[in-house]
Structure 1
């Protein structure tokens, strides 16, 4: 999923960017856009797609077929953005990288362990046992843990279904569903926006387009954006310099493509 991808790649982007002497904020912002756009194609690429896929009882290939033209458009725009960076040969000496075998094996085991515990309804014990394992084997991992991301995860994945019953969106055109869900994503993030919009439209494609493209704009547009900013340490202003420019161009071209297909 996009959140996992950006969680893994952001530190790599920052480190390699600094070694190569490139514009790190631009690299981080484009990486976040890539994670959001790249995850848009399949029903399991991100949380909002999973919700839409299950709610509308769509086939796996049917979802991909509907999203494919728009995702290709978004990727082309992203590629053009990347061409803004002048191509130059960079000679750098990459520092040696060491893998902590003990930490890698422990983390791999705990990943499987926590999934199994969740499947057998024993998830409430997972956190305690995981913390104990790290305390015994590698306690400095706990000291470097980003505590602020936990309430962020909890807020974004909270149940917003009650909120949908409190608003009266009314009947919307296809373009209206797209725009409404995109704008809503900029305010409350795209996963909650998806849940709010579900009762108000049968147009799954325009809803999916709105919440997926909506994830590429403001920092709260998607959890992936918040993770990228938090882990990289870049300023919100620097992030929005690229993300909002991308959103504006992609929004206009997507609306144009929607009008043609409708």
Structure 2
């Protein structure tokens, strides 16, 4: 039997590598890193193949699949470039553009996975502000902050929320009823913090608005909202079943009424998120009977759990932190704290959130130098203030 020390070392090493995109000349991918770690713990005998399969939460995987299908289908309508261009054209000043970007990213991320939203929104926003001759730094930071804060509100907002919904026994309405107001308060506070950092310099924009297939956008949006409504109306039906079923219906609708083969949407979906979660489930499953989990279970709820969640999210990223800390949650307040603080902590550093890493990567590919120091200088105070607010609201 392999020792606890070896298993824990492998798992923590895999978690630690998740936020590296490259080591010297060797590229790293979060999904492959997690999957490789899973293969290693199975090969070491830390977890049997049968136990590894049982550790994979199918409801979370199905929910993520459904949401990825919705987001990718909506992108085919031209909605994201249209929304970004409208934002730049209509806001009028740099301050309004930054705040408008914050709210747009938050609203979209409350309805769909924030990772997918920033992946699709960042390139078109960069192009829109470039055409308007505006510095992209402020809007890009706002995208990150908005995507993380907005995703707190619903179980559809980010991968860790989807996992928490499946593990906690909470219904969709209970989740939104508690965390929706926290997301709203955090968004208002962040708006005030950003407003004082940006001036009212006018934006002279003559960029043309790209084409939007309005019927397509409306119908795809209806599938997204319909998924949420069904999850709220049918609390006894697993959320993953509803999300995956609606996602498949969405693809069938595109084939029937838009003559778009479903495989084109499937080919563009970010399957890496699903592979990442499968790997994380197996890694965490391999340490469930070790001293690591026993130590985490001593954290309890309340301030201790909030503090550990904030710190761990900034050490190994919020998704693996949530999967690992889920073994220590003992009550509903703990689940709410885990969801809120892990997500809001994602604004503190680039390490803490995949959405942040995606924006940095997309910006770099398009020649935009988004300073990590500037990102931390803006994001860390926002993360601390909003996390303290969320913890206070939930505990008091």
Structure 2-normalised TM-score? 0.50
Pairwise CA distance, 1:22: 3.3
Cα displacement string for residues 53-89 of structure 1 (whole angstroms, at most 9, x for unaligned residues): 1101111100111212321221112211331322243
Asked whether 1:221 is paired with 2:352, we answer yes
Q: Could you say if the C-alpha distance between residues 153 and 244 of structure 1 is closer, same or farther in structure 2, counting changes exceeding 3 Å?
A: farther
Q: Could you say if the C-alpha distance between residues 10 and 163 of structure 1 is closer, same or farther in structure 2, counting changes exceeding 3 Å?
A: farther
Q: Could you say if the C-alpha distance between residues 156 and 13 of structure 1 is closer, same or farther in structure 2, counting changes exceeding 3 Å?
A: farther
**Aligned with 1:210: secondary structure?**
helix
Q: Could you say if the C-alpha distance between residues 238 and 72 of structure 1 is closer, same or farther in structure 2, counting changes exceeding 3 Å?
A: same
Structure 1 residues not aligned, in runs of 5+: 100-104, 115-129, 132-148
* Correspondent of 1:9 among 100, 109, 121: 121
Pairwise CA distance, 1:227: 0.3
Pairwise CA distance, 1:153: 8.2
Asked whether 1:250 is paired with 2:371, we answer no
| Counterpart position of 1:57 | 169
| Counterpart position of 2:206 | 93
**Which structure 2 residues correspond to residues 162-177 of structure 1 after superposition, within 5 A?**
162-163=286-287, 165-167=290-292, 168-169=295-296, 170-177=298-305
**Residues in 2 aligned to 1:153 and 1:62: alpha-carbon distance in whole angstroms:** 26
Cα displacement string for residues 73-128 of structure 1 (whole angstroms, at most 9, x for unaligned residues): 211122113313222432222157589xxxxx99874344x3xxxxxxxxxxxxxx
* Correspondent of 1:48 among 149, 160, 163: 160
User: 2:341–2:390: 8 Å Cα contact kept in structure 1?
Assistant: no
User: 2:115–2:358: 8 Å Cα contact kept in structure 1?
Assistant: yes
Q: Could you tell which deviates more after superposition, 237-246 or 61-70?
A: 237-246
**Which structure 2 residues correspond to residues 133-148 of structure 1 after superposition, within 5 A?**
none
**Aligned with 1:249: secondary structure?**
helix
Structure 1-normalised TM-score? 0.74
**Residues in 2 aligned to 1:244 and 1:154: alpha-carbon distance in whole angstroms:** 29
**Which structure 2 residues correspond to residues 15-30 of structure 1 after superposition, within 5 A?**
15-30=127-142
**Which structure 2 residues correspond to residues 88-167 of structure 1 after superposition, within 5 A?**
88-94=201-207, 97=210, 109-112=262-265, 114=266, 130=267, 158-159=279-280, 160-161=283-284, 162-163=286-287, 165-167=290-292
Asked whether 1:72 is paired with 2:184, we answer yes
Number of residue equivalences: 222
**Residues in 2 aligned to 1:196 and 1:24: alpha-carbon distance in whole angstroms:** 36
Q: Could you say if the C-alpha distance between residues 173 and 56 of structure 1 is closer, same or farther in structure 2, counting changes exceeding 3 Å?
A: closer
| Counterpart position of 2:328 | 200
Q: Could you say if the C-alpha distance between residues 156 and 218 of structure 1 is closer, same or farther in structure 2, counting changes exceeding 3 Å?
A: farther
Cα displacement string for residues 200-254 of structure 1 (whole angstroms, at most 9, x for unaligned residues): 1122111112211122221121111110000012232232232123112223333
User: 1:30–1:243: 8 Å Cα contact kept in structure 2?
Assistant: no
Q: Could you tell which deviates more after superposition, 217-226 or 230-239?
A: 230-239
Q: CA RMSD in A?
A: 2.8
Asked whether 1:210 is paired with 2:349, we answer no
| Counterpart position of 2:33 | none
Asked whether 1:240 is paired with 2:376, we answer yes
Q: Could you say if the C-alpha distance between residues 163 and 6 of structure 1 is closer, same or farther in structure 2, counting changes exceeding 3 Å?
A: farther
**Aligned with 2:124: secondary structure?**
helix
| Counterpart position of 2:42 | none
